Amino acid sequence: MLKRLTLAWRLVLAATAITAAFLALVHGGVLRLEVPNQHWFAHARYPWGGLLVVPFTALGLLLAALAGALRAPKARAHWVLGAAFICACACTIGTRTAAGSGIVALTTTIICDGSNSYFTTAIDTPDPLALAREYPQRMPQLRLHAATQSPGAMLLHAALRQWYLRSPALQGFVESLLWLSAGTRTTEVAAALNPLWQLRLSPADVGAATMIGLLFPLLGALAVFPVFPLARRLGGHRAALLITALYAVTPSLIWFTASIDQFYPLLAATILLLLYHAARGRRGSYVAAGVAGLLTGAGVFLNFGFAVVGAIGALFVGLRACPRLGRAGDDRAANFPAARVAALGVYALGALAVLIVAQFGLGIDLVGVARVSGDLRTKLYLHDLPRPWLTWVLLNPFEFTIGLGWSSTVVVVAALACWRRVRGPAIVILSATLAVLLLLDLSGAARAEWSRLVLFAMPLCLLGAGSAVRSLRLTQAGPAVLLVLGQGLYTLIGYQLFDVWGYWTIPFR
């Protein structure tokens, strides 16, 4: 019977079987997603709230739009794109707010040190920019995440808080949402959280945290818009529909609500879209490379780990400049290695320009911050919270696939297996992404938490499988819909079985 199935259906069955087995093992307690005293997810069977009908309905809308588009003579991309955005919003925001505490669950995720210490670090000081200029000296005394990262994330939270404080319309909107969702007010939330976490939150701080908790998931959902056009250029129209739908139900994108990490996939996909244009050597390629460089520099300023995207982008453009690798896809006539090398230079200069402005213009010692961050992270991994190198070299890829989703993982593995048949820019993106991730893994610079730390690489892996999706005939309506259905159910059911933020979330679920 199995021999009569096409390769596409075999892949779908494999993805479905792996997904079902994983959920069954977690549900039965056989598989616990934790390494004692090192890193863990909270294992708890959370109650199913009535509001969970919203993300499940949005998933159904996405599946209906995808099936209709793939069966139509001319695929109706705008329906799938709109449904993907709605689904991503409903799943990221809807899952958390479906809890008994409503929208307060988003607020607490932004405020809690266990998930995000950038916000509380920003409100601890009257002058966040002055703190940023003293960062290398102050880092050992700062809160958890802020102590080992660039001050950019703290400054972003401070800027968003100031935006909220200066906008009466935003304040009224957030107050109304809190009342409608949870029947509470910012004053009541502040009164509850201050003694619980030994904080000095004002009602305005609670409102700002709520706004930020809504903004980051929205930015993550917006990534469907650069993902689709790039996927269409890499794999064709129908492949782009599937890739975009799979991204919309990426587990980590939904589970890590609300966090600044949800912003990075949007940034990464936009950068790769610009670099794809730059690598073609057409009109405007240098402008595209420069803008991509500026965005990469901004990403690194927010998060040192975003340098991974810079390395992926540089490797992609560099590989496309190679004569043999560059001769593929729709730009064969524009295969000008010299122009691509020049675009690579412009890209690097753009990224450096942002970091130089931060270093010398704003007076933030990023070099010193990076040095202290490395020392503190080494101390953390070796002494404070020991994480053996070999343990996490083996487990990092596993956690990454948990966050990527088993349907997406099967698609990516299949693309790697048939890479000789799908030469072109897509396989170059996939190769560059996986090569840089492998180097990061072997370096031991990031041990554990790969489901969150490299969330930005997940859409790049999907995009790299774009041409393989078409070659493997996964763009047929049946296989495509079942792949997205399996991943969507895995994401929503998994959210009810464990929580990636840890046990502190239980009172708010």
The residue extents of the domains of the chain are 7-101+217-508
Degrees to nearest 5, angle at CA 418 with 415 and 420: 120
Q: Are 164 and 211 in contact (CB under 8 A)?
A: yes
> Number of C-alpha atoms within 13 angstroms, CB side, residue 83?
25
In whole angstroms, what is the distance from residue 287 CA to residue 274 CA? 9
Q: Locate tokens 């706004």: which residue?
A: 211
For strand 498-499 and strand 42-43, is the pairing parallel, antiparallel, or unpaired? antiparallel
Q: Extract the residue ranges of the chain whose pLDDT is less than 70.
A: 1-4, 73-75, 323-336, 421-423
Structure tokens at 429: 């993106």
Note if the bond before 328 is cis, omega within 30 degrees: no
| Predicted pLDDT at 325 | 53
Nearest to 202 by CA among 218, 185, 217, 214: 185
DSSP 332: G
pTM: 0.95
**Cβ within 8 Å of residue 176, ≥6 positions away:** none
Nearest to 495 by CA among 264, 253, 261, 260: 253
In whole angstroms, what is the distance from residue 414 CA to residue 459 CA? 16
Chain-centre distance for alpha carbon 408: 14
| Predicted pLDDT at 334 | 46
| Predicted pLDDT at 44 | 87
| Predicted pLDDT at 412 | 96
Nearest to 468 by CA among 425, 430, 418: 418
In whole angstroms, what is the distance from residue 440 CA to residue 305 CA? 10
- Angle 186-197/168-182 helices, nearest 10 degrees? 80
